[in-house]
Structure 1
Amino acid sequence: MMRPRVPPCCGADEQPAGGLSRRGVLRGAALAAGGGVVLGLPGTAYAAPVIDNPFAGYTITQTWAQHRANGSLGGIDFAMAVGTGLPACGAGTVTNIPNNGTGGHTVTIAHADGYKSQYLHLSAFVLANGTPVARGAIVGRSGGAVGAPGSGSSTGPHLHWHMIDPGGTRINPLEYVAQHPPAGALPKTATETTGTPDVTCYKRMQHWLRLTNGYTGPIDGVPGTATYSALQRAMRGYGYTGPIDGVMGPNSWRAVQNLASGYGYTGPLDGVMGPNSWRGFARFLNQNAWD
């Protein structure tokens, strides 16, 4: 008899990851653009660091609420193949914590203002302790395979991500990102209402693809071969099996409609992008993660 499949997750008794020394935190503070933040003193006012969600292209297998309901201190789990590079969600200083209890190999990124981000169940560390990183730098490799070194209590390949506030409380990183959009963030596209793609729609698409699928061109709202090649790579997860050639045909757009079907599109998957297809796609692109 087959056992029911349980989404990869952390154990209910997951332990808080180890802390950083005062010297390590202060070193992180020195990296802040603008600097001048004093940590650890009563009454200190902490600024909100700029944090992105670099994992928005991956399926969530356990939500924050599900973690808490299972007795965990909280986290977000993303389905991810072992060995996937893990981009830093924000600038800071790296500390590696090998075999961190049920969390397994853990990377901590100490941001400049008292916040920390932690990635759990890693298969490998890639940077030395004390390494300063910019947002987007690879800080480790995902793991989580049952019984593998560094997996801790993981029940399957995935990444666990949570943040810790200056008071030491674990917080939901997705809520944090939604509540603290970066200065100069991209505006929302009106395509969600009009059904007609505009420059902002394409800019948001390019930014999403830069964060998740290797697009390296400009965020100019003028999609070309590089933009569409990245879009085709992204659509591998939505049924596209054709070449990555940057030429969008019906099969490419059918996969985009499949994505849009998770955001309110209820029409046919026919590869013809009409107003309703664009509205659904725009709802996806208007998520705070792509600001």
Structure 2
Amino acid sequence: MSENHEADNGRKNRSRTGMSRRTLLRGSVTTFGLAAGGVLFSAGSARALDIYNPFSAYQITGSWQEHLDRGSLGGIDYGMGVGTALPAAGAGVVTNIPYNGTGGHTVTITHSDGYRTQYMHLSEFLLPDGTSVGKGDIVGRSGGAAGAPGSGSSTGPHVHWHLITPGGTRVNPLNYLGGGGGGGLPKTATEQDGVPGPVMWRRTQNWLRIESGYTGPIDGIPGPNTYAALQRNMRDWGYTGPADGAPGPNTWAAVQRLAATHGYTGPIDGVMGPNSWRGFSRFINQDRWD
């Protein structure tokens, strides 16, 4: 398998995940109104509901308004291949709902003070009910193929996402994006499962923005600009080739040298596999790249 193909597989974020158990977010949110920037006002003080958009790297195939226009209670559809790993939008506790009517297999994450995010049309549940997860942990795999078990009424592969208030009203999660008093990027589950995906690449792009002159979007979709910045940075790790945005074995061998400083013990052969990605992700998960 070529290195570029491995990167493509990473974009699809297919995961055999191993879960970390990061701390549940602290503080409570009782909403009385929404201000610009996703801050919810509560009892005279402002706090943020600590969620992010884990699907920003995917195309919206059904907007919130389009759902309302056809009589739905609302939701956002993101097109993605069956089996794509679904990160938690925020810390919370998992509840699985098999064959949830038209929504099919549904995973619910209950956040602080009763807010819930839901993902529908799953092909697979990965965690038992009651599991505590951190923001970015993988909670299931997407589905939606017409007629497949768990797809509900879906006619094509995608995930349906919405947020439910403590009072039980379904709302658009994009209106509630906060940051938990500082925000920052979520940690990547690649450190556990060894599968590169959008969160890992977003963190990588942010690291390269800080250190190596990357000026493109922090979108989790690596392209020539991301790879060229990576090659510039890898000169500190033995890479001597051009910064041409087309990584090959010499680029990835340098990445493995970096990964070796964070627990990677395999060969420096320029062939990135799960252990190489785990070591690299231990580096990229450092708080300074949030």
Distance 1:34 1:232 in 2: 28
Q: CA deviation at 1:172?
A: 0.1
Cα distance, 1:211 vs structure 2: 2.6
Instruction: Name the CA shift for 1:212/1:147 in 2 (closer, same or farther; >3 Å).
Output: farther
SS in 1 for 2:113: coil
Total equivalences in the alignment: 190
Return the match for 1:234 from 221, 228, 248.
Answer: 221
Report the counterpart of residue 210 of structure 2 in structure 1.
222
Task: Tell me the residue number matched to 1:137.
Answer: 137
**1:259-278 maps to which residues of 2 (within 5 A)?**
none
Residues 145-193 of structure 1: per-residue CA shift (max 9 Å, x gap):
000000000010001000000110000011111xx3442246xxxxxxx
Name the structure 2 match of 1:171.
171
Which of the residues 249, 274, 280 maps onto 2:244?
249
- Asked if 1:123 is matched to 2:118, the reply is no
User: What residue ranges of structure 1 are gaps of 5+ in the alignment?
Assistant: 1-30, 39-43, 187-208, 253-290
* RCO comparison, higher one (Cα < 8 Å, 6+): 2
Deviations 1:4-33 (A, max 9, x none): xxxxxxxxxxxxxxxxxxxxxxxxxxx744
Could you tell me which amino acid in structure 2 is paired with residue 222 of structure 1?
A: I
Shift in alpha-carbon separation, 1:231–1:67, aligned structure 2, 3 A = closer
- Could you say which residue in structure 2 is the equivalent of 1:113? 113
Residue type of the alignment partner of 1:151: S
What is the one-letter code of the residue matched to 1:174?
L
Structure 2: gaps of 5 or more residues: 1-22, 31-41, 185-196, 232-242, 248-289
Task: Report the aligned-residue RMSD.
Answer: 3.9
CA change 1:156–1:48 in 2 (3 A) is: same
Is 1:95 aligned to residue 95 of structure 2? yes
CA distance in 2, matches of 1:133, 1:233: 22
Identity of aligned residues (%): 51
Match of 1:184 in 2: 182
Deviations 1:208-265 (A, max 9, x none): x97363645974843449x89x9897146xxx6x98993453789xxxxxxxxxxxxx
| Structure 1 runs (4+) greater than 6 angstroms displaced | 230-233, 242-245
User: Per the alignment, do residues 155 and 244 of structure 1 end up closer, same or farther by CA in structure 2, a change over 3 Å counting?
Assistant: farther
- Please give the alpha-carbon distance, in whole angstroms, between the structure 2 residues aligned to 1:36 and 1:90: 14
Instruction: Quote the Cα distance in structure 2 between the aligned partners of 1:36 and 1:63.
Output: 29
Equivalent residue in structure 2 for 1:213, among 201, 204, 224? 201
Q: 1:34 to 1:175 in 2, by over 3 A?
A: closer
Equivalent AA in structure 2 for residue 102 of structure 1: T
> Would you say the 8 A contact 1:56–1:212 is kept in 2?
no
Is the 1:37–1:113 contact (alpha carbons within 8 Å) kept by the matching residues of 2?
yes
Q: Write the deviation string for residues 16-54 of structure 1: whole angstroms up to 9, x where unpaired.
A: xxxxxxxxxxxxxxx74445789xxxxx96964200001
1:74 matched residue in structure 2: 74
Aligned-partner residue type, residue 171 of structure 2? I
What secondary structure does 1:123 align onto?
strand
SS of 2:114 mapped into structure 1 = coil
Distance 1:53 1:233 in 2: 12
> Aligned partners of 1:232 and 1:111: how far apart in 2?
25
Distance 2:104 2:78 in 1: 16
Question: Contact 1:54–1:212 (CA<8 Å) still a contact in 2?
Answer: no
Q: What is the alpha-carbon distance in structure 2 between the residues aligned to residue 155 and residue 140 of structure 1? A: 19
